[in-house]
């Protein structure tokens, strides 16, 4: 009897692994087709500049909480973006450090009266400021309410039809806004577009802009490069063509302001407010039967620093898992909703089964494998072979993401870098992947206990910055 039960469990794990890998493979194939098409059009960008006039004006929102060390360079780099018309709104979310003092001193802020239009409810505003140096820079000083609340305050104060949420520590390229705006020019139905986020550790940054991309000397950031390649190059790219992309990174994403306000703005009290908003936008627009596009720009246009030590990485992954679960739970009525299309019938269930519950299944799978091995139910040969198969498929998926990167943008173009990343896609299966599973499991546990949303604090080394 026990044997039969164990066999059934074994088939469950095998089936789960098989379906998951087939889904990844399908996303992979879609991504290859999409990137091929995208690159064909993208190659024209150089000499289609004159076809990109009449860009819609954008409000760039920068929520800041205890960012006294990075806020100046971030704002200075934002002020140098090449774009016809944009405003930058920094929202100081009740920082406990000298963020406001730095902003006031470095950008010559003066208080201004503002008949503020409260379209999204936010924590009380302490004051509005404008810069005497840059006419398109404004600062909102408000009581602490979390990142979502800060972004909502920025949306209330923004003047333009599109807004772009940017993390205070994001490193951009001068043409980042021009690139991320393309989907809005290409298709008037676009309501949101996300940009590809790459890892800045190991790269050289000058005056807030990326000068040369490189690989960190440390193993942990390198492993995360492979993860980011997977997540952005076929995680996002695979879902975007079927209009079922559920995540736009908070580090860099553009939204149509009115649609976001209609959908209720960012949700306060969530950790993953960026994902939650995108899922809710899908739900809102699908339920209203409004045609729309939520899409993705594969060009690397935003660079972010990733954790270099395990403690910080653990906090980040726990937070991400809580954010994922909150986003899905708050919008659970979208799942299998008859009006929900691909989002409701494909992307949402995929996220629940393989991303939200994935760590549980994976963890139980490890336990099961150890138990049956100890009990002698599987032979060492089979144990090794199945492990090899699992690792092999993991490597294969990572390597295809790497191939996609080489074909498309070849940021890591030197043969040495390619080989190092290939090795990382191999190493990550021995320890790193299991560790991440454990942290995601911890996130799930904390979510079950009712962990509340707060600003994600991360120790930044910023040793890439000149």
Partner 1 sequence: MREPPSDSVVTLVVGASAAIIVTSLLLLLLMIIIRFIQSVREEQRRSFIKTWSPIMALSIEETITDLPILLKFNYINFLSQWNIFADSVRGPSRKGLIRLAKQVGMERVAAEFLSKRSEYERTIGAMSLGNMEDKSQWDKLQELAENNIGLSGQVAARSLARIDPVASAPVLVPIFVRRKDWSSARVALILKDMEPNAVSIHLAAAIFTATSEDLPRLLRFLPYIERGIALQVLSDILSRNTEPEVLTACLAGIKALGDYQSISLVKQYINHEAWSVRVQAVNALGMLASKDDLPLLVERLSDQNWWVRYRSAQAICNAPFVTPGQLQEFRDKHPDRYARDILAQVLAEKQMVVD
State which of residues 19, 371, 385, 448 lies at the interface with partner 1 (CB under 8 A): 385
Tell the residue number behind the tokens 């627009």, with chain if given: 285
Q: For the CB of residue 395, give the shortest distance to partner 1 in the complex, in Å.
A: 5
- Which is closer to partner 1, CB of 141 or CB of 305? 141
| Residue 335 touching partner 1 (CB under 8 A) | no
Q: How many CB atoms lie within 10 A of CB 68?
A: 16
State which of residues 218, 288, 410, 452 lies at the interface with partner 1 (CB under 8 A): 410
State which of residues 381, 430, 449, 450 lies at the interface with partner 1 (CB under 8 A): 381
Q: Show the site string, 109-148: x = touches partner 1 by CB under 8 A, - = not.
A: ---xxxx-x------------x------------------
- Which is closer to partner 1, CB of 119 or CB of 123? 119
State which of residues 80, 84, 207, 379 lies at the interface with partner 1 (CB under 8 A): 379
State which of residues 160, 345, 396, 427 lies at the interface with partner 1 (CB under 8 A): 396
State which of residues 186, 309, 333, 463 lies at the interface with partner 1 (CB under 8 A): 186
CA distances to 60, 62, 136, 240, 299 from 183, in Å: 17, 22, 24, 12, 12
Residue 52 DSSP label: G
Alpha carbons within 13 angstroms on the beta-carbon side of residue 129 total 23
Instruction: Please choose, from the candidates 187, 214, 183, the residue with its C-alpha nearest in 3D space to the C-alpha of residue 198.
Output: 214
| Residue 371 touching partner 1 (CB under 8 A) | no
What is the distance between the alpha carbons of residues 129 and 147, in angstroms, rounded to a whole number?
Answer: 19
Number of residues lying near partner 1 (CB under 8 A): 55
Q: What is the β-pairing status of strands 293-304 and 171-172? A: antiparallel
270-329 residues near partner 1, rule: CB under 8 A? none
- Which is closer to partner 1, CB of 207 or CB of 413? 413
Tell the residue number behind the tokens 């993390």, with chain if given: 167
Spell 206-220 as b/e; 16+ CB within 10 A means b. eebbbeebbbbeeeb
State which of residues 22, 41, 105, 212 lies at the interface with partner 1 (CB under 8 A): 41
Plot region of 202 (φ>0 → left; ψ -120 to 50 → alpha; else → beta): left
State which of residues 217, 376, 430, 466 lies at the interface with partner 1 (CB under 8 A): 376
Q: Show the site string, 241-270: x = touches partner 1 by CB under 8 A, - = not.
A: ------------------------------
CB 15 within 8 A of CB 44: no
What is the distance between the alpha carbons of residues 159 and 156, in angstroms, rounded to a whole number?
Answer: 8
DSSP letters, 145-192, are --HHHHHHHHHHH--SSEEEEE-TT-EE-TTHHHHHTHHHHH-TTEEE
State which of residues 345, 386, 427, 445 lies at the interface with partner 1 (CB under 8 A): 386
| Residue 450 touching partner 1 (CB under 8 A) | no
- Which is closer to partner 1, CB of 213 or CB of 246? 213
State which of residues 1, 4, 5, 50 lies at the interface with partner 1 (CB under 8 A): 50
What is the distance between the alpha carbons of residues 102 and 339, in angstroms, rounded to a whole number?
Answer: 49
Please give the backbone phi and psi of residue 352, each rounded to the nearest 5 degrees, phi first. -65, -50
Task: Identify each DSSP E strand in 99-151 by its residue range.
Answer: 109-112, 125-131, 137-142
What is the distance between the alpha carbons of residues 345 and 254, in angstroms, rounded to a whole number?
Answer: 26
Q: Show the site string, 214-243: x = touches partner 1 by CB under 8 A, - = not.
A: ------------------------------
State which of residues 80, 82, 84, 187 lies at the interface with partner 1 (CB under 8 A): 187
Instruction: Please choose, from the candidates 82, 42, 43, 56, the residue with its C-alpha nearest in 3D space to the C-alpha of residue 173.
Output: 82
| Residue 413 touching partner 1 (CB under 8 A) | yes
- Which is closer to partner 1, CB of 300 or CB of 359? 300
State which of residues 11, 22, 26, 51 lies at the interface with partner 1 (CB under 8 A): 51
| Residue 3 touching partner 1 (CB under 8 A) | yes
Spell 84-105 as b/e; 16+ CB within 10 A means b. eebbbbbbbbbbeeebbebbbe
| Residue 419 touching partner 1 (CB under 8 A) | yes
The residues that touch partner 1, with contacts defined as CB under 8 A, are 2-3, 37, 40-41, 43-44, 46-51, 53-56, 112-115, 117, 130, 184-188, 375-379, 381-382, 385-386, 388-389, 392-393, 395-396, 399-400, 402-403, 406-407, 410, 413, 415, 418-419, 422
């Amino acid at each position: 009897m026990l044997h039969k039960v164990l066999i059934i469990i074994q088939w469950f794990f095998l089936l789960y692994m098989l379906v998951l890998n087939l889904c990844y493979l399908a996303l992979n194939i879609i991504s290859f087709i999409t990137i091929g098409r995208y690159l064909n059009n993208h190659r024209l960008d150089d000499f289609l500049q004159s076809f990109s006039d009449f860009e819609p004006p954008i409000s760039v929102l920068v929520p800041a909480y205890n960012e006294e060390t990075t806020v100046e360079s971030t704002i200075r780099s934002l002020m140098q973006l090449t774009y016809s018309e944009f405003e930058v709104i920094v929202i100081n979310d009740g920082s406990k450090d000298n963020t406001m003092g730095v902003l006031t001193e470095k950008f010559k802020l003066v208080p201004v009266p503002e008949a503020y239009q409260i379209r999204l409810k936010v924590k009380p505003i302490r004051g509005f400021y404008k810069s005497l140096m840059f006419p398109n820079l404004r600062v909102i000083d408000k009581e602490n309410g979390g990142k979502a609340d800060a972004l909502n305050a920025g949306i209330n104060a923004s003047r333009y039809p599109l807004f772009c949420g940017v993390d205070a520590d994001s490193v951009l390229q001068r043409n980042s806004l021009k690139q991320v705006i393309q989907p809005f020019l290409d298709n008037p139905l676009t309501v949101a577009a996300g940009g590809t986020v790459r890892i800045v550790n190991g790269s050289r940054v000058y005056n807030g802009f990326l000068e040369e991309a490189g690989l960190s000397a440390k193993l942990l950031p390198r492993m995360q490069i492979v993860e980011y390649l997977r997540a952005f190059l076929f995680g996002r790219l695979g879902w975007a063509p079927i209009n079922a992309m559920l995540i736009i990174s908070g580090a860099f994403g553009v939204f149509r302001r009115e649609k976001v306000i209609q959908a209720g703005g960012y949700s306060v009290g969530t950790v993953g407010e960026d994902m939650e908003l995108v899922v809710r936008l899908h739900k809102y627009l699908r339920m209203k039967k409004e045609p729309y596009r939520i899409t993705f720009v594969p060009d690397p246009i935003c660079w972010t620093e990733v954790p270099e030590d395990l403690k910080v990485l653990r906090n980040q992954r726990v937070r991400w898992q809580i954010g994922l679960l909150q986003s899905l739970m708050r919008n659970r009525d979208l799942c299998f909703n008859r009006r929900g299309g691909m989002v409701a019938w494909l992307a949402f269930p995929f996220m629940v089964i393989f991303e939200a519950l994935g760590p549980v299944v994976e963890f139980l799978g490890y336990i099961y494998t150890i138990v049956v091995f100890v009990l002698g139910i599987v032979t060492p040969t089979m144990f090794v072979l199945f492990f090899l198969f699992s690792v092999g498929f993991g490597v294969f998926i990572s390597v295809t993401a790497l191939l996609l990167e080489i074909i498309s943008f070849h940021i890591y173009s030197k043969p040495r870098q390619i080989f190092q990343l290939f090795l990382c896609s191999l190493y990550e299966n021995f320890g790193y992947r299991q560790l991440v599973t454990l942290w995601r499991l911890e996130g799930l546990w904390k979510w079950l206990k009712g962990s509340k949303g707060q600003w994600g604090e991360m120790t930044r080394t910023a040793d890439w910055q000149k």
